[in-house]
């Protein structure tokens, strides 16, 4: 266990959600059961359980391993006695206790398609690509996977008739069966609902019927049905997928100039330049041909929109990348005004910002996006940045990646390992990785201003003098990618003065950065408890901080497009700006919580003393989890005491228990921080304390919603009496030193 008391756990019980009204009077019988479980959890070993993963899923995975001759290359990971979800089996991703994603591409699998795959009832994504040892027909049991939305079986040796049952999967969106030995007829009439993209390149499909269809979009290049040049199906037989080099369009060049490795010959002047090069895609209109005239029209439109000379903007290597998506892939080269001139940072940023953030009218070409860009620099000009790559979704969304040399092929799925995530929800990336790294003086220790659950935070100063807080996620943390994507997705969509704003992001290989607005006075924890950096927070400021926290959480819980829970509310995650306004930070643990649905989290992150009982015991993360944590932080605000302090007398060590003792003795004002007690508004103090006690009730249904908390603290509603001490405190004083359960197979403390 780490000094900060973070821990990880798994669910030992899952209870159904109930739409209970807020009632501060809990069920005593329920509490007695809850008390036994909770006290046993915090003071003794957890009950044993066979596995965190559903038994049917565990059985299915072992059957798959045996069916494929145990050639998974996973012998040290997929082992009997270990749990697929809890022990992070390679290629296996879980939600709650079930397997939802199986990625076993390029594993050397050998054998037939095992029917055991049909036992993974909650599977959403399956990738068995590039295992040529897989043969035989595709098992019909895969048709039982009602939640499967993406299937990749390409580059194997599956045979037999085309499996029509795949077209009947209710939520399937993407089928890639290319480079197999499938035969027979593709019947577009089988699919009567929901659009699906089907890739059947290089199989043995001999006929198609009921096509075109509004429900399927097939690609059949390389099949016998396409061999007849008079085929009536040009859209499914021609120029599908990555087009061979013979289809490549290249601008004619007659120059014989040989340039050094950093420079590029200008096709108009035949001199060597140091250009800015972008690989881009364009939405292509099929009514427009693919010839030099159309490419020149594209050049003129880009040059005009970017205010660059037509002679200094050239297009090379244009290909149809994906005709089903109507995508034209091309290299766009921006030459400076003369061979002796170099692009500077501001000019390149200006071009890039126009390509990423604005719309240029391109006749015949629909929305475009930047895939990769690099700045060619003279060898002596080492200070100029280069090698910057951006991967973009069709909506114009950007994720920045620094590859230093050659850009990767534009495959979003391989670049981040998030093939099954919807990238159009992620925000525009405004920063280059090196820009953020340099802003922190190469992550200098002197710039370090904090340490979050999944990484350090540094103060950064950009070239324009603006300040940012840069969060660096360690590359060796398994949950780092998901943490990163959660933060990018959630924070970017939330705009509230009490929530930290995300300014941008950057990726370089496995290294991931988030750039937030810089908050001057750092965290509430430092302001209250740091022996050197503590601030004297007067009572009006403290009350305003509590109210601002409540408003930020209310936005998070009910005013955002999705109902979100933070999951790690604590004083360290409440930042204070120059006006001492609170801002909630670190959304990396947030979970989608719609319609009060309880989510069972496999890995629990948080600090002891802030965590709600149902989260600690069962991994149930809901907005009510945040309400409990808010109550504890509010008590810290009032008292100036930390939630647990073993240096205090025994009866005062656990803050929540101590407050209840004062409440029962009618001495609540004794809780107020002595430094401000004389100037404190007694009525406000009692309101805040009582609201905090309501929020920290043991039963989630007994706590108010954060919107109700805002009303209570704003004086719009009266505070109800708090009648019952939480039952998990019923034993009296709890020694925080005893809050360490013994090691068990179900809990990992760190």
Active site residue 413: no
CA gap 105, 350 in Å, rounded: 40
E strands in 252-406? 264-265, 272-273, 276-284, 313-322, 327-334, 365-375, 388-392, 398-402
Which residue out of 152, 568, 586, 673 is catalytically annotated? 568
Q: What's the count of helices (H) and strands (E) in the chain, helices before strands? A: 15, 33
- For tokens 């499967």, name the residue: 148
H-helix or E-strand spanning residue 158: strand 157-161
Two tokens at 203? 């199989």
263 and 376 in contact (C-beta within 8 Å)?
A: yes
Bridge partners of 216? 196
Cα 357 → chain centroid: 22
H-helix or E-strand spanning residue 517: strand 511-517
Two tokens at 731? 């034993």
Strand ranges of the sheet holding 150-152, from the earlier edge strand across to the other edge: 92-95, 98-103, 125-127, 150-152, 174-176, 196-199, 216-219
445: how many CB neighbours lie within 10 A of its CB?
8
Two tokens at 747? 């809990």
Q: How many CA atoms lie within 13 A of 425 on its CB side?
A: 15
- For tokens 């009303």, name the residue: 711
Two tokens at 300? 């003129």
Strand 747-749, strand 7-9: pairing = antiparallel
CA gap 351, 99 in Å, rounded: 44
Two tokens at 90? 């390679």
- Omega before residue 212 within 30° of 0, cis: yes
Contacts 24+ apart (CB under 8 A), 741-744: 741/41, 741/42, 741/43, 741/44, 741/45, 741/46, 742/44, 742/45, 743/45, 744/45, 744/46, 744/48
Q: 730, exposed or middle or buried, with CB in 10 Å at 0-12, 13-18, 19+?
A: middle
Three-class DSSP labels, 164-179: HHHHHCCCCCEEECCC
- For tokens 């900060």, name the residue: 4
CA gap 117, 102 in Å, rounded: 10
**Residues 342-374: b if buried by 16+ CB within 10 A, e if exposed:** bbeeebbbebbebbbeeeeebebbeebbbbbbb
266 and 260 in contact (C-beta within 8 Å)?
A: no
Two tokens at 235? 């859209």
DSSP assignment letter at 465 = S
Two tokens at 686? 């009692």
CA gap 334, 266 in Å, rounded: 10
Say if residue 358 carries a ligand binding annotation. Answer: no
Query: Which residues fall in the annotated binding site?
Result: 471
**Which positions make up the binding site for ATP?**
471
Q: Which residues are catalytic?
A: 568
């Amino acid at each position: 266990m780490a000094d900060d008391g973070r821990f990880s756990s798994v669910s030992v019980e899952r209870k159904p959600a109930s739409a209970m009204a807020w009632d501060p009077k809990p069920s005593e019988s329920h509490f007695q059961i809850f008390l036994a479980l909770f006290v046993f959890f915090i003071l003794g070993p957890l009950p044993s359980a066979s596995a965190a993963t559903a038994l049917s899923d565990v059985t299915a995975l072992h059957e798959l391993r045996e069916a494929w001759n145990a050639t998974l290359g996973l012998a040290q990971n997929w082992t009997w006695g270990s749990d697929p979800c809890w022990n992070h089996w390679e290629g296996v991703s879980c939600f709650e206790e079930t397997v939802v994603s199986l990625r076993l591409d390029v594993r050397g699998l050998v054998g037939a398609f095992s029917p055991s795959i049909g036992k993974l009832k909650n599977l959403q994504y399956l990738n068995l690509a590039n295992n040529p040892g897989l043969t035989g027909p595709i098992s019909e049991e895969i048709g039982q996977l009602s939640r499967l939305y993406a299937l990749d079986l390409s580059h194997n040796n599956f045979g037999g008739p085309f499996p029509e049952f795949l077209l009947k999967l209710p939520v399937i969106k993407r089928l890639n069966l290319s480079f197999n030995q499938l035969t027979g007829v593709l019947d577009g009439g089988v699919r009567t609902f929901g659009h699906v993209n089907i890739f059947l390149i290089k199989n043995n499909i001999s006929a198609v019927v009921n096509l075109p269809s509004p429900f399927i979009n097939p690609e059949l290049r390389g099949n016998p049905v396409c061999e007849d040049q008079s085929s009536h199906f040009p859209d499914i037989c021609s120029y599908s997928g990555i087009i061979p080099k013979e289809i490549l369009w290249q601008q004619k060049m007659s120059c014989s100039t040989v340039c050094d490795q950093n420079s590029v010959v200008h096709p108009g002047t035949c001199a060597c330049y140091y250009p800015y090069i972008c690989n881009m895609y364009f939405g292509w209109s099929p009514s427009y041909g693919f010839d030099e005239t159309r490419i020149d029209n594209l050049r003129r439109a880009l040059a005009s929109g970017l205010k660059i000379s037509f002679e200094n903007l050239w297009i090379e290597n244009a290909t149809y990348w994906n005709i089903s998506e109507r995508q034209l892939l091309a290299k766009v080269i921006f030459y400076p005004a003369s061979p002796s001139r170099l692009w500077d940072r501001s000019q390149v940023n200006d071009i890039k910002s126009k390509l990423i953030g604005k719309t240029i009218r391109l006749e015949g070409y629909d929305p475009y996006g930047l895939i990769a860009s690099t700045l060619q620099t003279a060898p002596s000009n080492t200070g100029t940045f280069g090698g910057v790559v951006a991967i973009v979704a069709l909506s114009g969304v950007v994720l920045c990646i620094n590859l230093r040399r050659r850009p990767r092929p534009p495959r979003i799925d391989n670049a981040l390992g998030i093939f099954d995530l919807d990238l159009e929800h992620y925000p525009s990336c405004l920063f280059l990785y090196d820009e953020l790294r340099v802003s922190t003086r190469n992550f200098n220790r002197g710039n370090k201003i904090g340490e979050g659950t999944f990484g350090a935070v540094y103060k950064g100063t950009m070239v324009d003098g603006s300040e940012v807080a840069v969060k660096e996620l360690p590359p060796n943390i398994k949950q780092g990618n998901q943490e990163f994507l959660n933060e990018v997705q959630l924070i970017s969509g939330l705009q509230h003065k009490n929530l930290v704003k995300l300014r941008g992001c950057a990726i370089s290989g496995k290294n991931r950065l988030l750039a937030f607005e810089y908050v001057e006075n750092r965290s509430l924890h430092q302001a209250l408890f740091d022996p050197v950096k503590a601030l004297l927070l007067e009572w009006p400021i403290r009350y305003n901080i509590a109210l601002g926290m409540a408003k930020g959480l209310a936005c998070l819980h009910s005013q955002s497009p999705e109902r979100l829970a933070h999951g790690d509310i604590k004083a360290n995650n409440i930042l204070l700006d120059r006006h001492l306004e609170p801002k909630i930070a670190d959304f990396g643990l947030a979970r989608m919580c719609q319609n009060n649905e309880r989510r069972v989290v496999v890995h629990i992150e948080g600090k002891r003393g802030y965590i709600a009982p149902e989260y600690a015991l069962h991994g149930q993360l809901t907005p009510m989890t945040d309400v409990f944590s808010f109550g504890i932080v509010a008590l810290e605000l009032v008292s100036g005491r930390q939630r647990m302090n073993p240096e205090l007398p025994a009866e005062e060590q656990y803050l929540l228990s101590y407050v209840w003792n004062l409440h029962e003795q009618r001495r609540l004002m004794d809780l107020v921080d002595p430094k401000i007690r004389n100037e404190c508004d007694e009525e406000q103090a009692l309101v805040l304390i009582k609201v905090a006690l309501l929020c920290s009730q043991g039963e989630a249904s007994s706590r108010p919603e954060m919107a109700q908390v805002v009303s209570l603290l704003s004086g719009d509603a009266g505070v109800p009496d708090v009648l019952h001490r939480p039952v998990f405190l019923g034993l009296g004083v709890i020694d925080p030193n005893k809050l360490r359960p013994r090691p068990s197979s179900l809990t990992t403390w760190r």
